[in-house]
């Protein structure tokens, strides 16, 4: 018999004013995944990742009533032991480095992503099938695999000539609905490429 026995643990510590649409306070998410080989399996690893977001009221500008918020975020993680490609930390995309598509920046056994985003009101109390508000965003993201791409079994990132680090910046429009946040974001990366992201749910 061959297989892997896995354990998963996740936690959230939040001091925000609103879990759905926070404007002040902080969120800390931590996750641990471990695998133990069974039988002839020979892959064993521990995967540790965290995500911290700080929400700061900051009245710079806006075009309607509503909160104005600066968000500072940092994501980091590392894997101890064997690193199969499907467990490596992949960077790029709407929840990582905008300006790149999913996984385009790189994949490694460790990673770090830092971001800053300013959210401001554009229009409020709108109704098209559902009630919603529109907010605008300005953002910048940076991510790096901390030179750990070659620690992934098979070294797939280097085989595909991925840089291993990059940054993106841009602007977006968010619809705040009773069902959650709907995001449309437009970004450029440090290589001059343009990417558009349409996502349901917040990244922070």
The CATH number linked to 46 is: 2.40.160.50
Alpha helices in 108-195 (DSSP H): 156-159
Q: What is the pLDDT of residue 107?
A: 95
For the chain, the domain total comes to 1
Q: What is the DSSP annotation of 52-120?
A: EEEEEE--S--SSSS--EEEEEEEEEEEEE---GGGSEEE-STTS-TTS-TT-SEEESEEEEEEEEEEE
Nearest CA among 107, 110, 119 for reference residue 160: 107
At residue 55, the pLDDT reads 98
**Cβ(56)–Cβ(24) under 8 Å?**
yes
193 vs 92: CA distance, rounded Å: 13
What is residue 145's three-state secondary structure?
coil
Nearest to 40 by CA among 82, 77, 92, 3: 3
pLDDT at position 102: 92
Task: Report helix, strand or coil for 151.
Answer: helix
Q: Which residues form the domain of 145?
A: 2-200
22 Cβ neighbours under 8 A, 6+ residues apart? 14, 16, 55, 69, 204
Question: Which residue do the tokens 């306070």 mark?
Answer: 25
Which regions in the chain score pLDDT beneath 50? none
């Amino acid at each position: 018999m061959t297989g892997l026995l896995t354990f998963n643990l996740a936690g959230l510590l939040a001091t925000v004013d609103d879990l759905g649409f926070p404007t002040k306070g902080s969120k800390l998410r931590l996750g641990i995944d471990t695998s133990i080989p069974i039988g002839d399996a020979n892959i064993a690893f521990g995967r540790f990742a965290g995500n911290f977001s700080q929400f700061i009221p900051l009245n710079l500008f806006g075009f309607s009533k509503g909160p104005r918020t600066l968000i500072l975020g940092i994501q980091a993680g590392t894997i101890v032991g064997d690193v199969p490609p499907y467990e490596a930390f992949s960077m790029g995309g709407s929840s990582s480095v905008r300006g790149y598509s999913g996984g385009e920046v790189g994949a490694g056994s460790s990673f770090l992503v830092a971001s800053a985003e300013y959210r401001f009101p554009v229009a409020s109390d709108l109704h098209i099938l559902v009630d919603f508000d529109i907010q605008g965003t300005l953002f910048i993201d940076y991510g790096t695999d901390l030179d750990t791409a070659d620690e992934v079994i098979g070294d797939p990132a280097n085989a595909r000539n991925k840089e291993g680090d990059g940054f993106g910046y841009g602007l977006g429009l968010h619809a705040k609905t009773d069902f959650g946040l709907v995001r449309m974001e437009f970004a450029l990366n440090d290589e001059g490429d343009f990417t558009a992201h349409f996502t349901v749910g917040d990244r922070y």
